Each structure stands twice: as structure tokens, then as C-alpha cells.
Amino acid sequence: MIRGLSRAASGCLPAFVRKWLAAYRFGYILRGSAFDLTRRGRRDGTIEYALSHGQTFVVDADVEQDVAFHFVENGASQAEMRGFLRLVASAPKDAVLIDVGAHKGLFALMHLLGGASHRAVLLEPSPPLVDAAHTLLARNGVASRADVRLAGAAAAPGLGWIVPDALGFARVVPPGDPTATRVPFVTIDDLCAELRIVPSLIKIDVEGAEAQVLRGAQRTLRDARPVLCLELHLDTLEQSGESVAELIDGLRAAGYRFESSGGVPLPPWWFKRSLMAIVRFVARP
């Protein structure tokens, strides 16, 4: 309700106020903790980044903007990445990550670099993003510990028709679109049973389909008790008829508690009253 009112009221505001409000709601003016990150161009055209604690990784030019977004530009995403790195550092030596909506694989890469025995399963329904993830992981020598799948996650298994948008994100279209790719959708529960894995971490960033993904992960949440790194697209969830309150209450009923990317406890009512369009947080069992 409160987000719907803010969206409706924004149309009556001056342009500069609307611009500020949008930047706030999407995390661009929220304060993150700055990374000590150095950049070095290499002769082969790739870019090497080094974090202050000594971890280095290499990306192609088309991944640079993603590094900038998560390490430099967007305060909320910067905080999310720092929180994710803390989770990786404290994860078991053989921790398995399921990265749902893996995009180009940056978070999976950080997980794999964080432990020599860490493994990751990446689900991404966009063909160009899957190709980029394969390249990124191979470029950094961790591809052998990753299972990159052209697939989405949902409440039930099935097939979807996908057309990538200008940024490569998967857009679901009706069957029969001649430009579309048919992509399998799986449940997290079925995936874990198929691969015989017990995930320590599940990251979910699916542009508003988070409730569907969680419905297909109920057995995993109950039995494996993974830590969840969630990016909830609150506006999109509500516009598609999903209840943010029901999603949060369902996780609470499964024994999860919530905290910000920085580790600050978040009460359930915060999600219902937040003006943010996107919230990034951690759910712990």
C-alpha cells in the first residue's frame, strides 16, 4: 500500500524530486562501505581487480559495469556485496552456493574464490548472460567447480519462452515468439535432489519472481537450512499480485530471521512499510 501511494504521488512532484526519490528507492544514494579496490588493465584487453585483502579477479570489458555497480556506484548493492563476502568467508569449507538469477556470475565467482573447495550451481535463463558467466568463471580458473545452467527457478518445473532485453536480462514472452528461446524452469527442491547437494547459501535475484522461487524451495529450506541472500523487487512483486507480507511471514514460519546486508536485525514489519523499490537483505535460519 505505502509503495503504491508513493508511486502514485511521485507523478505530482517536481522532476528533480522525482529523480531523487527514484535514486533513493533503487539504492543509488544509500551509503555503502567503500571497497579498497584497485584496477589494472592487462595486455590481452581484460581487467584485473584486486581487493585489499589480496583476492584478485579478472573480467572482460563487458563485465566492468557490473563490477562498478556492486563495488563502487550503488550504495545498496555495495553493501550487499560486502555482506555476501562476509557470508562466504564464514561458510563451511565445502559450501555449496545456489545462485538463482546468476546474471554474469559475479557473485558465484566471489564464492568460488572464497574457498578452494567451494562449489556453485548457477541458474540463469538468459542465453547471453549464461555465456558471459561461463567466460567469467573460466577466465578465473574456477569453472571446474561450477555448474552453469541455462534455466530459471520457479514454484513448479516447466518450460518458458525467453527473449533477452537490451541488458541481457531474461524477459518471459508467450509461446511462439520467433525470437524466443525455450528454457527449462526447475524448482530448487528438485535441483537439490537431482544433484544430491545440501546448499549452505542460496542467492536469489530474479527481478520480482522471488515468491515463485521460494515456493519451489520449501523442502530445501526445511531440511538444509541455507542462509538466503535475497533481493526483493517489492514494486514488481506487488504489481504481479504477490504479497510481500505473505512472503516474509512464510520465511518466518520456516524459522528464518532477517538482517540487513550489514548485519542489522530487520523486523518483519519493516518490509511492509519500506518505501524502497528493491530491498537486499539476508535471511538466517
* pLDDT at res. 226: 98
95: left (phi over 0), alpha (psi -120 to 50) or beta: beta
Contact between residue 106 and residue 67 where contact means Cβ atoms under 8 Å apart? yes
Give the pTM: 0.91
**DSSP character at residue 205:** -
* pLDDT at res. 167: 81
Q: Indicate the class that CATH gives domain 74-284.
A: alpha beta
* pLDDT at res. 14: 64
Pairing of strands 56-59, 181-186: unpaired
* pLDDT at res. 32: 64
pLDDT digits (tens, 9 = 90+) for 198-219: 999 999 999 999 999 999 999 9
Is 70 exceeded by the pLDDT of residue 187? yes
* pLDDT at res. 134: 98
CA distance 123 to 98: 8
Place of cell 518450460: 159
Q: What cell numbers appear for 215 in the block?
A: 515456493
Question: Domain extents for the chain?
Answer: 74-284
pLDDT digits (tens, 9 = 90+) for 65-124: 999 999 988 888 999 999 999 999 999 999 999 999 999 999 999 999 999 999 999 999
Is 70 exceeded by the pLDDT of residue 24? no
Q: What cell numbers appear for 88 in the block?
A: 562466504
* pLDDT at res. 74: 87
**DSSP character at residue 182:** E
Is 60 exceeded by the pLDDT of residue 6? no
pLDDT digits (tens, 9 = 90+) for 46-64: 999 999 877 899 999 999 9
* pLDDT at res. 3: 47
**Which three-class secondary structure state does DSSP give residue 102?**
coil
pLDDT digits (tens, 9 = 90+) for 234-258: 999 999 999 999 999 999 999 999 9
Contact between residue 218 and residue 254 where contact means Cβ atoms under 8 Å apart? yes
Q: Among 16-20, 27-31, 41-45, 143-147, where is mean pLDDT lowest?
A: 16-20
Query: What average pLDDT does the structure give for the chain?
Result: 91
Label each residue of 206-264 as H, E or C: CCCCHHHHHHCCHHHHHHCCCEEEEEEEHHHHHHCCCCHHHHHHHHHHCCCEEEECCCC
* Residue 260 β-bridge partners: 281
In which band, very low, low, confident or very high, does the pLDDT at 176 lie, cut at 50, 70 and 90? Answer: confident
